[in-house]
Amino acid sequence: MTVAEMIKKTRTEANMTQGEYGAKFGVSRQTVSSWENGRSLPDLQMLIDICNTYHVSLDKLLNEDKEFVEKIDFYNKYKKAIRLVGMCLLAGLLIFAIVFINWKITERNMNQAFEMNAEKLGFVKGELYELEKDNVRYRLC
């Protein structure tokens, strides 16, 4: 028996509509319909709740429905891959932020050093750094 068949069997034996069955487990009628048609599957905790409620052996069910077990394995691997990609993106973003902040700090320090050196040489800051000596005007850009 597959998970879809078990869900339909337990619902019909309890003389419940899909809406009533869904309400019992906190899901919509459409979700129950998707489960029964095999378009989607309940998560493992929901499956455990259903099996406990209707006294169905989860071990026996999983041994009979190999496709469900393979999907659980696939989704677990998929979640791990997504988590790994997310961690890599986060690490990349962190590295970018550190490099950017370091670059801005270095740029500010270089500008301050330039201004201090220009002032030591006698240049005055206006729009440009200018120095007038012996009727000759020097400009730093």
Q: What is the pLDDT of residues 1-50, one digit of tens each?
A: 888 999 999 999 999 999 999 999 999 999 999 999 988 888 889 989 99
Q: Residues 16-53, buried b or exposed e (16+ Cβ, 10 A)?
A: eebeebbeeeebeeebbbbbbeeeebbeeebbeebbee
For 121, the 3-state DSSP assignment is coil
Most distant CA atoms of the chain, gap in Å: 107
Residue 69 and residue 128: Cα distance in Å, rounded? 73
Residue 98, beta-bridge partner list: none
Sequence letter at residue 118:
A
pLDDT band at 141 (very low <50, low <70, confident <90, very high): low
Structure confidence by residue, pLDDT tens digits, 56-104: 998 888 888 777 777 777 777 888 889 999 999 999 999 999 999 999 9
CA-to-CA separations, 31 to 9, 23, 69, 92, in angstroms, rounded? 16, 11, 20, 38
Q: Is the pTM of this model over 0.85?
A: no
